[in-house]
Amino acid sequence: MRRRTTLISAGAIAAALVLGSSACTGAPPATPQPRETGDEELIAVFRADLAGKDTRAAVAVVDGDDVRTAFVNAGPTTAFESGSITKTFTGLLLAEAIARGEVELDHTVGRYLDLGDSPAASVSLGDLAAHQSGLPTFPTDPEWIAQAEPAFLAGEDAIDETVEELLAEAAAEPLAPDAPPQYSNMGAALVGQAVAAAAGTDFATLLRERILEPLGLEQTTLPLVAEDVPETLAPGLTGDGEPAEPSSLAAYAPAGGIVTTVGDLAGYAQAVIDGPFGDSAALESRPGLDGGGIGYFWGVEQRGDHELVSHDGMTQGFSSLLLIDRTAGTAVVVLVNRGGRSLNGLGERLLALADG
């Protein structure tokens, strides 16, 4: 299964090797071993993937009402950035807004957001939700890139746009008529802001009132500024193992801003399997990128007689995976405090364990 769902993609930088000195002679001190807790069978599956003294990770396997969890240097209340898994929440909100008659899939985003007469204004919500609009991942303006790229590479929180600034960035994109489809955080952010505007509120409020509170996801938050980041957030690490600042994505939050726990994401998966969102139009497959299936941001795959929906995520300091077998009623959640980690292989092994 191919899931190209990275929130932030930036070039790698060389890591400096710093050697400390010690007054002791002889053998170096032993490296502290990770503290693994929870379901022993899950630990045996992920031990090789998630080992390391600085690693914090949480894993859940859902089978109907049964949820098995395991942790590395973490616990049930440890929070992680979910990255682009957030887009699945945005997709469900889009489907809900359509069901309520607030928006329609073929309506242009400019109908709800002030994009003037720019090319972006004429893109439909449906094309945005399928990454078919041609809008870029992030702004292509050279000045924006010159400011943001060094911050990304340094593991800094680089995005702080207001909604007005997001709209100005989207309106400035040339978006040629023959622009090829591409994965777009900008597009997902516009969908989230559009459905919120159509409901007469802001995205954080819409998310809380229509998903988080009804599902009882009490440990899930949407930090829009640094001050909103929960104290329970695990310390993030870049792919090189350097400290990464928490990502508070401001107006881009609908594309990747949710911070959550493994238990809350497991509950979210149950709501998609046979709960309030089990029949959401967001999960219905349409043509997506590279010939794959996609719902409203959800990856959709038919594997034999099983239907799978999924999304992974990546910020500068975290990697994540949500994989649901709707047919079997099983799901896998993996949350890790390190960016640049592909969790697909681990997710498949855990799902096989769940499916027995």
Note whether residue 296 is domain-resident. yes
What's the number of domains the chain is made of?
A: 1
Note whether residue 192 is domain-resident. yes
Query: What's the full length of the chain, in residues?
Result: 356
- CA separation for the pair 339, 341 (Å, rounded): 6
Domain range for 186 is: 37-355
Over residues 15-20, the mean pLDDT reads: 25
Note whether residue 201 is domain-resident. yes
Over residues 319-335, the mean pLDDT reads: 97
Among 287, 271, 288, residue whose Cα is nearest residue 279 = 271
Note whether residue 128 is domain-resident. yes
CATH code of residue 233:
3.40.710.10
Note whether residue 9 is domain-resident. no
What pLDDT shows up at residue 33?
Answer: 62
Note whether residue 144 is domain-resident. yes
Tens digit of pLDDT for each residue in 180-192?
Answer: 899 999 999 999 9
Are 337 and 317 in contact by the 8 Å Cβ rule? The answer is: yes
Interhelix angle 163-171/185-198, nearest 10 degrees: 120
- Residue 264 phi/psi, 5-degree rounding, is -65, -40
* CB burial readout 156-187, b (16+ within 10 A) else e: ebbbebebebbbbbbbebebeeeeebebbbbb
Tens digit of pLDDT for each residue in 241-266?
Answer: 999 999 989 999 999 999 999 999 99
Instruction: Say yes or no to pLDDT of 314 above 60.
Output: yes
Note whether residue 17 is domain-resident. no
CB atoms closer than 10 angstroms to residue 82? 33
Note whether residue 230 is domain-resident. yes
153: pLDDT confidence band, cut at 50, 70 and 90?
Answer: confident
What pLDDT shows up at residue 192?
Answer: 98
Tens digit of pLDDT for each residue in 49-62?
Answer: 887 778 999 999 99
